[in-house]
A and B are shown apart, each in its own frame.
Chain A
């Protein structure tokens, strides 16, 4: 079974509007971290936001917020006030089992976001 599922291959949003990118995950480890990365066409993977499994509050970083619903195992990324520069591929990722999975993040298939002017 896939550990990270991103069901939206592509999304469109109008400039200045908000958009939600979906991510569900699967793990039996009580301690894990969830991440969102942005990958522009240049290829570099840019870290956006982190949510720890024990964090009580949803993470926020500027225009990015993470809607963390632990019971549903979902970690959706919300981008507010979209900008043209937000057009990119977005990946949801998870790190778990730190002792047995050193240095390994598991990634979803990504969502391509296109911001329309």
Chain B
């Protein structure tokens, strides 16, 4: 089974520009979460999407937005880039919580991460 993929892997932008990052989840996973990782703040939750709806959002300004498509692929957008937005952006996919049946709780609860997109803002 293919893992979570993220494109592009590296991006260099200048302040004021906007950027769009893409994430394709593991086949069958319908929940996609985004995280920002910086040396100073560690890993911080941005938002989560399921069935094209944002279900949860972290404490980030409105410049950070996202969406999910009907095939569960997700994009996140950062507008009016600031120097502090330089970070590794990680996408994670999982089965939606509550998806049971034959699936174990370990299987449904675990988030699997992509390789990340490293964004540098100059």
Which residues of A come within 8 Å of B, CB atoms? 33, 35, 37, 42-47, 50, 52, 59, 91, 95, 98-99, 101-110
- Are B110 and A44 touching (Cβ within 8 A)? no
Complex CA distance for A24 and B115, rounded to whole angstroms: 27
8 Å CB contact of B109 from A42, A59, A95: A95
| Min distance, Cβ B56 to any Cβ of chain A, angstroms | 4
Chain A residues closer than 8 Å to B98, beta-carbon distance:
98
Quick one: which of B93-119 are within 8 Å of A by CB?
A: 94, 96-98, 105-106, 109-116, 118
Which residues of B come within 8 Å of A, CB atoms? 31-33, 35, 42-43, 45, 47-50, 55-56, 58, 88, 90, 92, 94, 96-98, 105-106, 109-116, 118
- Are A103 and B33 touching (Cβ within 8 A)? yes
Known: A33-B109, A35-B110. A103 touches B115 (CB 8 A): no
- Are B42 and A52 touching (Cβ within 8 A)? no
The secondary structure that dominates the A interface is: loop
Chain A residues closer than 8 Å to B35, beta-carbon distance:
105
Could you give 30 example pairs across A and B, Cβ below 8 Å?
A33-B110, A35-B110, A42-B115, A43-B118, A44-B113, A45-B90, A45-B113, A46-B113, A50-B110, A95-B109, A99-B97, A102-B31, A102-B48, A102-B50, A102-B56, A102-B96, A103-B31, A103-B32, A103-B48, A103-B50, A103-B55, A103-B56, A103-B92, A103-B94, A104-B56, A105-B33, A106-B45, A108-B42, A109-B42, A110-B42
